[in-house]
C-alpha cells in the first residue's frame, strides 16, 4: 500500500467543477421570469442522462449519515448508463469528491466543499465518491437513471487519500 496523500479541499465553483458536470445553483444567466413574473426559473441548469435498455430518469431522496473526519477515500464509483445529481434539502454544507478518468481508472481525487444551497450533476460515467454528508444526517434530492444493465462501476485505490478537515484552501 502506497503512502497516504492528504487532499486539498476547494470551494465548489461552476468553473472548477466543469470537467465533471455542472453545479446546480441559481445562475443569473439562465434566469427567466415565469408565472406572470411571480417566479424566477433558472432554466436547464443540468441535463439528466439515461442510456441503455428500459432507461428512465428517476427522482429519489438519499438520507446520508455524516462522514467522520479525518476521512480516508479508498474508492470511487461511476455510472456508465446515466448521470446522477445531488441537491441538498437541509441547507447544510457537504462534500463533493470527483476524479478524472485515467485509462479506465480514477486519478487523484478532487475534493470540493459545497454550500447547503449548491447541488451537483455528475455527468454520465464521471468518477465520484458516494454521497458525503457532513455534520448531521441530511436529505438530498437525487435524480439519476434506472433501467437494465449494471449502472455501478467501482474502483478501489492502492493508495489511501485523506480528507483531514473541512477547511478550504487553494
Ligand X SMILES: NC(=O)N[C@@H](O)C(=O)O
Q: Which residues bind ligand X (CB under 6 A)?
A: 77, 84, 128, 130-131, 152
Q: Which C-beta is closer to ligand X: that of 33 or that of 58?
A: 58
Our CB check for ligand X shows the closer of 27 and 125 to be: 125
131 binds, among Ni ion, ligand X, none (CB under 5 to 8 A by kind): ligand X
HSE-CB for 92 with a 13 A CA cutoff: 16
CB of 79 to ligand X, least distance (A): 6
Partner touching 23 among ligand X, Ni ion, none, CB below 5 to 8 Å by kind: none
Judge whether 120 and 85 are in contact, CB under 8 Å: yes
DSSP letter at 32 equals E
CB neighbours of residue 28 within 10 Å: 7
CA dihedral 126, 115, 113, 124 (to 10 degrees): 0
State in angstroms the smallest separation of the CB of 167 from Ni ion: 26
Query: What are the residues binding Ni ion (CB under 5 A)?
Result: 84
Amino acid at each position: 500500500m502506497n503512502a497516504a496523500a492528504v487532499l486539498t479541499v476547494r470551494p465548489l465553483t461552476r468553473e472548477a467543477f466543469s470537467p465533471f458536470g455542472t453545479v446546480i445553483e441559481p445562475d443569473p444567466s439562465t434566469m427567466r421570469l415565469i408565472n406572470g413574473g411571480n417566479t424566477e426559473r433558472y432554466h436547464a441548469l443540468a441535463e439528466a442522462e439515461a442510456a441503455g435498455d428500459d432507461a428512465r430518469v428517476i427522482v429519489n431522496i438519499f438520507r446520508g449519515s455524516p462522514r467522520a473526519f479525518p476521512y480516508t477515500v479508498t474508492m470511487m464509483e461511476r455510472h456508465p448508463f446515466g448521470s446522477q445529481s445531488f441537491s441538498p434539502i437541509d441547507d447544510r454544507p457537504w462534500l463533493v469528491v470527483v476524479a478524472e478518468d485515467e485509462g479506465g481508472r480514477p486519478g487523484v481525487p478532487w475534493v470540493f466543499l459545497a454550500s447547503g444551497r449548491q447541488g451537483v450533476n455528475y455527468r454520465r460515467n464521471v468518477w465520484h465518491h458516494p454521497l458525503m454528508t457532513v455534520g448531521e444526517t441530511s436529505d438530498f434530492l437525487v435524480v439519476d437513471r434506472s433501467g437494465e444493465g449494471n449502472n455501478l462501476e467501482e474502483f478501489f485505490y492502492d493508495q489511501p487519500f485523506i480528507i483531514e478537515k473541512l477547511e478550504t484552501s487553494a
